[in-house]
Amino acid sequence: MRQLGRHAAALLAAAVATGMVASLVQTQVNLAELTALGATFPLSLRAWTTLQDLAGFGPVMIGISFAALLPAMLVAHAIGRAAGPARRAPLFAAAAVAGLWAAFWLMLNVIPMPAIAATRGGLEHALMAMSGIAGGLVYAHMTSPAQRAAQPRRQVLVAALMALVPAALFLITSPGAADKLEAVDPATYRVETVAKGLDRPWSLAFLPDGRLLVTEMAGRLLVIGRDGAKTPIATGGLPPVFQRGGTIGLMDVALDPAFERNGLIYLTMGHGEEGANGTRLARARLENDRLEDVRVLFSSTPKPRAGNNGGRIAFLPDQTLVLTVGDGNWRREEAQNVANHLGTVVRLDRDGQAPPDNPYIGRPGAAPEVYSLGHRNPQGIAVDPASGELLLTEHGARGGDEINQIVAGKNYGWPLVTAGIDYPFGRVTPFSRLAGFEAPLLEWTPSIAPSGLAVYRGDQFPDWRGDLLVPALRGRALHRVVRDGDRIVGQQTLLAELNQRLRDVKVGPDGAIYALTDGVDASLLRLTRP
């Protein structure tokens, strides 16, 4: 029992040492990536960011280290029986490095966890794994024959205190719960279920005859009648759709501004394969519930992961088309690279060409389609029909969800500027505001995961004219963002009583609000006055 206590204490102390060193490495690698984008970090800011990461990311890294070191130390013990005492320290250090390397490999390739900056490249991955040397040496020392006379109870107490301090700092510094927003009185609106049994629907659009088009991520395009009847559209002419669960697949649908004359619709979809995929825009003519004359207009820069695709479409007053493209959730720094489409809004004419007045036309090496950059995962875009203002919602990481007003040629900051932090609680950047980058009109921390956007200009709810409607996946509600002119003055929530993830929202020609719930058994809802 004494021996077990000593080894448990040693393992815990080794995890603490490894986690702290790994946090230091991660912070410096991340700051180096931001420096390469042009940011400058005085020594005081670098030190403060490092301390913040020790408090936030450090405890997470201690947990990862403990899980990685446990099997590694068991293997080292088995091998060590044949090794002499002089080889104990190098053996345990090497085992710890191997354990950390394997853990980070699993996090990158098996466990669906977003990559942190210091595990995305071979050299950085190796540097993080080398953090295990500290833990291996601590473990070797605490379990050495020279320490057998030490009181195991004291060792356990010391190791527990070493772990409790980071845990306390984590609890103190981790983001708190969001302020509870006022709910719109459910008695002031009526919810009708138009259709049920939808399989991961993503978007909807209104046909002139009163029916609705709805996309499902697996590749189906449906027509839904007034009675809720679902009719599949024949989509045999579409190129193959790359689909992975609720992350990427067939996404947005929008009607051409002259649809009643030309019958054209626009669709976005995933394309490519697991290690090289992107967001594609296609156009087709809808005729007799089938797609004809399908044409691929645009394919974004490939990315190595399926996440953060953007995929929303809107038409500007000049009838050019804007399309959101996410940063790909891997090399997020590419959102600052105007040479590709990742983390941008692109602007195209209705034939898929870059208009000659796009802001980066003529810049050497720039992708001519780019309209704005510095976005993470913009999944909502809408034009205010009264003002022509282009508005966008985008997902942050852990916090930092935003509403932005999009202006040609502007930079919206990601990942140099954000109020969010990484999913494992490390700092994405020290900057939540920075000169030269556009500040959001509104941000949500903690995240609500905004997945669409509509500007209300209907007659059903006259008091809401000009307000924004934002469906939330994580927030499980429809947010009414109240505006006074172009200034945001408040928020309310609707549909929170349903406790459903919401995927999209549109304002119908009748002034009713149509919302799609998310998932494999989703519904199309219609909100009207009672």
- How high does pLDDT run on average in the chain? 92
Taking phi over 0 as left and psi of -120 to 50 as alpha, with beta for the rest, 104 belongs to alpha
Cα–Cα distance, 6 to 194 (Å, whole number): 64
In a shared domain, residues 99 and 22: yes
In a shared domain, residues 401 and 510: yes
Mean pLDDT, residues 356-380: 97
In a shared domain, residues 65 and 132: yes
Number of continuous H segments (helices) and E segments (strands) in the chain: 7, 25
Number of domain units in the chain? 2
Indicate whether 160 pLDDT > 90.
no
Indicate whether 113 pLDDT > 60.
no
Report if residue 178 sits inside a domain: no
Report if residue 134 sits inside a domain: yes
In a shared domain, residues 207 and 75: no
Report if residue 183 sits inside a domain: no
Residues 6+ apart with CB under 8 A from 328: 303, 304, 305, 307, 308, 309, 334, 342, 343
Indicate whether 88 pLDDT > 90.
no
Indicate whether 326 pLDDT > 70.
yes
Cα–Cα distance, 411 to 220 (Å, whole number): 35
Cα–Cα distance, 278 to 449 (Å, whole number): 21
pLDDT digits (tens, 9 = 90+) for 422-469: 988 999 999 999 999 999 999 999 999 999 999 999 999 999 999 999
- What pLDDT is attached to residue 413? 98
Mean pLDDT, residues 36-43: 96
In a shared domain, residues 367 and 248: yes
Report if residue 456 sits inside a domain: yes
Instruction: Provide DSSP, 394-419.
Output: EE-BBB-EEEEE--TT-B--TTTS-S
Which value, to the nearest 10 degrees, does the dihedral of the CA atoms of residues 437, 47, 425, 428 take? 20
Mean pLDDT, residues 384-401: 96
Mean pLDDT, residues 338-346: 98
Strands 313-315 and 201-206 turn out to be unpaired
In a shared domain, residues 206 and 142: no
Indicate whether 150 pLDDT > 90.
no
Residues 6+ apart with CB under 8 A from 13: 138, 139, 142, 155, 158, 159, 162
Q: In what order do the strands lie in the sheet with 370-373?
A: 313-315, 321-325, 344-348, 370-373
- Going by C-alpha positions, the residue among 281, 279, 380, 377 that lies closest to residue 330 is 377
Mean pLDDT, residues 381-402: 96
- Going by C-alpha positions, the residue among 129, 145, 4, 146 that lies closest to residue 74 is 4
Report if residue 181 sits inside a domain: no
Report if residue 180 sits inside a domain: no
- What pLDDT is attached to residue 112? 57
Cα–Cα distance, 211 to 246 (Å, whole number): 25
What pTM was computed for the model? 0.94
- pLDDT tier for residue 234 given thresholds of 50, 70 and 90: very high
**419 HSE (CA, 13 A, CB side):** 17
| Cα 70–chain centre separation | 31
- Going by C-alpha positions, the residue among 15, 115, 133, 106 that lies closest to residue 65 is 15
Taking phi over 0 as left and psi of -120 to 50 as alpha, with beta for the rest, 234 belongs to beta
pLDDT digits (tens, 9 = 90+) for 209-223: 999 999 999 999 999
Mean pLDDT, residues 267-274: 96
Instruction: Provide DSSP, 463-477.
Output: GGTT-EEEEETTTTE
Structural domain boundaries enclosing 27? 2-173
Which DSSP letter does residue 216 get? E
Report if residue 392 sits inside a domain: yes
Mean pLDDT, residues 231-237: 94
Report if residue 375 sits inside a domain: yes
In a shared domain, residues 158 and 231: no
Final residue of a domain: which of 173, 196, 216?
A: 173
Per-position b or e across 310-337, b if 16+ CB within 10 A of its CB? bbbbbbbeeebbbbbbbbbbbbbbbbbb
Strand, coil or helix: 49: helix
Q: What is the CATH number of the domain that holds 493?
A: 2.120.10.30
- What pLDDT is attached to residue 525? 98
Which DSSP letter does residue 248 get? B
Mean pLDDT, residues 468-476: 97
* Positive/negative CA dihedral, 111, 117, 118, 122: positive
- What pLDDT is attached to residue 105? 87
Q: Residue 248 to residues 90, 343, 392: CA-CA distances in angstroms?
A: 46, 16, 19
Cα–Cα distance, 447 to 444 (Å, whole number): 5
- What pLDDT is attached to residue 149? 57
- pLDDT tier for residue 175 given thresholds of 50, 70 and 90: confident
Would you state the structure tokens that stand for residue 101, as one six-digit string?
A: 């390397």
Cα–Cα distance, 14 to 7 (Å, whole number): 10
In a shared domain, residues 45 and 159: yes
- What pLDDT is attached to residue 177? 73
Indicate whether 331 pLDDT > 90.
no
- pLDDT tier for residue 110 given thresholds of 50, 70 and 90: confident
In a shared domain, residues 168 and 251: no
- What pLDDT is attached to residue 151? 61
Please state which of the ranges 114-123, 322-331, 477-486 shows the lowest mean pLDDT. 114-123
In a shared domain, residues 160 and 210: no
User: In this structure, which amino acid lies at residue 331?
Assistant: R
In a shared domain, residues 248 and 105: no
Indicate whether 270 pLDDT > 80.
yes
Indicate whether 474 pLDDT > 90.
yes
Q: Residue 368 to residues 96, 197, 334: CA-CA distances in angstroms?
A: 48, 41, 16
Per-position b or e across 72-101, b if 16+ CB within 10 A of its CB? bbeebbeebeeeeeeebbebbbbbbbbbbb
Residues 6+ apart with CB under 8 A from 293: 237, 284, 285
Final residue of a domain: which of 143, 173, 203?
A: 173
In a shared domain, residues 154 and 275: no
Final residue of a domain: which of 115, 149, 173?
A: 173
